[in-house]
Structure 1
Amino acid sequence: MGRTAVLIDGFNLYHGMKEQRGRRYLWLDHVALASRLRRRDQIVDVRYFTAPVLDDAGASGRQQTYLAALKAHNPGVLTVVEGRYQRKRMRCHACSTHWTSYEEKETDVNIAVALMEIAALPTVDTVLVVSADSDLCPAVRSARRVNPQLTIVPAFPPHRRSGELRALLPSAFTISETKLRQSQLPPVVTDSATGAKYVRPAYWH
């Protein structure tokens, strides 16, 4: 049995799942998913990289409920690593309309740093990287130089592909809808330490 760490690009996965089935699979248990993707391995470290939602109280509340449920259901295994969103003022040159756009920052760097940390302290055999972001290729190359024995496997979210990652790591594969469906959190998650209950948002059905 190998020891596997999992690095999840939350932004990449979220939008892939939404394109596939809307909000149906957003109540996802990442530890359960990793266990299904690496059935013969011990999942020892799962890191979920995301950023707090800005300027939308409803979405922010759902996100915080979800993150609390994830941590309560997987104590000691799952860590949430937060980056940030940056507001960008946009303007249409044709009609002069203005609007605010949001750009996620720090996630790529945070995943790259985590990958290098794992490579430098070889306590695991495999890293499963749930992302199809080709910006991670330099970090993958560096990690393999630091620890040539480390196996790095990209798991592409639905509707997400990276020819560069696949060329670098031919073991890359796409996560199936079946695995997502089988890896949902319970409808109500109870924190065994505090007794707090977290309910799947009705908006996510």
Structure 2
Amino acid sequence: MSEIYPKRVTYCEVCSFPPEFCEYGASINQCVTSLKQKNPELFSKLYPNQSTSTTDEKSNIPIENLNIQDKDLLKKQQKEELKQQKELEKKQNSKIIIKRIERNKKKHIISIIGLEVFNIDSKKLSKTFASKFATGTSVVKNSEKKDEILIQGDVSDEAKEYIESLLKKQPGLEDVKVEQIDDKKKVKKANPIIGAK
């Protein structure tokens, strides 16, 4: 009988799958690069026909000289790079709007929209704002069926700073616009009283 012992499984630092399944994840290029740097033995075991230069973006090896497995891997890497580039461009062209809505002369509500593009969880951010600003917050669906965070109180500047700090942590999103809008109530003019002096 063979001994039963717990098997040690290596996990990818990028996608958290075992390296054998990285090709099914969304970031195969980064996974292969990371595996090549961190665990060259496993890399050569999983990709025996792949030299170190074929994973580089600036590879000069013609596609015809690669075997079928390497061609598939290269195609997946190129698709993934294009997809990530399109997502980054979409994020860079989007903007977050912080609207300050006047309820009456002294009370305000802050409305934040446009977070769903940046993969920011509105409910978690709402809870963070509630504890950070010690105020009431809620997440509602607006007319476009998108999440909108409502914060009681005039904290638009603080909310803007916090959201900008979140975006700076994501690579490539440092220049995303966070726009502040002031939405004031229209004051109704009183009708003049006839006969008043």
Q: Shorter-chain TM-score: which interval?
A: under 0.3
Q: Which has the higher strand share?
A: 1
Higher-Rg member (1/2):
2
Q: Which has the higher contact order (CA 8 A, sep 6+)?
A: 1
Q: TM-score, normalised by structure 2?
A: 0.26
Q: TM-score, normalised by structure 1?
A: 0.25
